[in-house]
Structure formats: structure tokens, C-alpha cells
Amino acid sequence: MMEPRLLARLEKKKAQLDALRPLPAAAVRRLDEQLTIEWIYHSNAIEGNTLTLRETQLILETGLTIGGKSLREHFEVINHKEAIEYVTDLAAGDTPITAFHVRQIHKLVLARIDDVNAGQYRTLPVQIGGATHRPPDAWEVARLMNEWGDWLNGPALAVHLVAHAAEAHHRLAAIHPFIDGNGRTARLVMNLLLIRAGYPPTIILCTNRQQYYRVLAQTDAGDSGPLVNFVGRAVERSLTLYLEACTPRRGPSEPADEWLPLRAATVDTPYSQEYLSLLARTGRLEAIKRGRVWYTTHRALATYTDSLPPGAS
């Protein structure tokens, strides 16, 4: 289900991060602060919040009100921070995650925005904009959510944790149990599962919104592979950031390990920038996305080339 090269990198990087534990407190604190801001900004932006990353940071750190922005958008930032704190506390324990916890997360997401529906299953039909998937009728939601909890703590445990978290996110989004706030809640639940398993918080970038919607639609149609790989690449990005911040440096990086834009990485290779971008998007090439630009290393390119059978590309 997951691209084998991506799976191997995830397991290697997770083992490297575990070997560094206990992680340096100062580095982890700075990185957690950075990722929390990014997590809130990107998750809200996917749903249409117009606050910038810097404005989101100012609201969180100073409590400032941003002129020209709605009260709802401000509450979406504050609420998401409180939901992350709840998720982090929950991840530190071993209580099985159930539909009750999903409702508690959603209650925090919609607090002060829609207190009547916060934490309450919808009683009305809904449609997902731009999607062909039709969520179940409202009267089915409670049963389906209980079944989701049974699946999460039973059959889902047999698959790799990253696939487990991605599938849990999709199943929750497909049920669409709430009148609003389903996407934010599903991404929070996904991260709850990842953090509990020792992975860093994973961010779905708003610049990848269309691809995100596309892989969710493919999963609706029965092909979960693209979603699992999409989430896997996001997990790898966070693992890479943590490893870079927490690994002791005893000298400058090797030139082969320096991150290069794909355009620069094509020099002395038979690959075009477009082909390297395809490899990065599908998880076959180790790469990291910063803004809208993909970066890779010469070592990653060599590793990819070495993995190919003779005559393949």
C-alpha cells in the first residue's frame, strides 16, 4: 500500500529519532512552537481561513486582533491551539481513542463559533463541496462513529501506524459526523494517533490542498494508496525537521547531504526537473517541500538510482 522506498525511509528516520531520545529540550521546545503555528495555520487555511502564517503567529503569541479579519477566523486560531493541547495530553496516555474523544476535539474546534453544534453530531444532511462522495444520513452517524472506534482499536492495528492514521482520518472525514469542522477534527485525530506512536506532529500543507482533496477522493473510490503515501510524505517532512534540529553537529554537512532545489539537483543526472518532481510527489525520491519548492539531495538521488533494477529509470 505504501511506496516501499518511502516506507523504508520512514522506518529508518523514526528509528534514528528514537535513538536520540531523550531529545534536547530546548530544540524540541522551539520546534514544537514552530510546528504548532504551522499546524494551525495550514489546517485552517485548507478550510478557507484567510489569516497569514505571520498573523496566526501574532494572535497566538500576543493575543492581538488583526484588522480586517473576522472574529470567527480569530477563534479558529485560538480554538485550534486548545484542541492541540487536548490532543497532546491525550496522546501522552494509553486510553483507547473512541468517538467520545472525537466529539471532545470537535467541541474545542467549534467553541465560541457555534456552541450549539460544538461536539454534537449533525442532525441534518450535508454535502462535501467539490466531492462526489455523499456522506451518510444523519441518523446513521452515531452508529457509524461507534463502528469507527471499534475499527480503530481492532482491525486497524494490523497495518503500519502511518497507514492506520491516514485511514482513520479518511473514514472520519467520510462519515462527516459534524455540521462543520470535520476536516480540522479529522486532521487532529490523525495527529493524535501519530504523536501517541512517537511520531512528530504532521502537517498537511495548504499549498497541497488540491492534491489532498484528490487523494481523499481516490480513497472514496476504493484506492487508499495515494492517501497513505501523501500522509507518509508529510510524516517524513516532520521527521526530517526533527532529526535536523535534534541531531548533534560535529562539523559541516557533507555536500551530498545538502538540500538542493530540484532544478539544481538535475545537474549531472539524466532526470528532468519534472520527473524529479514526480518522484518526490510519489514518495520514490527523498525530498522535502518548502513553500512551493521541492528540495532533494545528491545522496537521495544516488539512493534512488541504486534502488532501480538494471535498465530501469
Hey, which residues are catalytic here? 176
The label of the residue with cell 466531492 reads 131
| C-alpha 73 chain-centroid distance | 21
SS3 assignment, position 260: strand
| SS3 at position 154 | coil
Angle between helices 71-91 and 182-196 (to 10 degrees): 30
Place of cell 522551539: 30
Q: How far is CA 92 from CA 38, 88, 116, 125, 220, in A?
A: 21, 6, 30, 36, 32
Listed in sequence order, the residues at least 6 apart from 274 whose beta carbon sits closer than 8 Å to its beta carbon are none
CA trace torsion 21, 24, 25, 29 (10° rounding): -100
Q: What is the DSSP string of 64-100?
A: PPPTTS-HHHHHHHHHHHHHHHHHHHHHTS-PPP-HH
Whole-number Å distance between alpha carbons of 110 and 259: 40
CB 73 within 8 A of CB 87: no
The number of residues making up the chain comes to 313
CA triple 212-4-183, angle to 5 deg: 20
CA distances to 1, 32, 43, 89 from 109, in Å: 32, 20, 11, 16
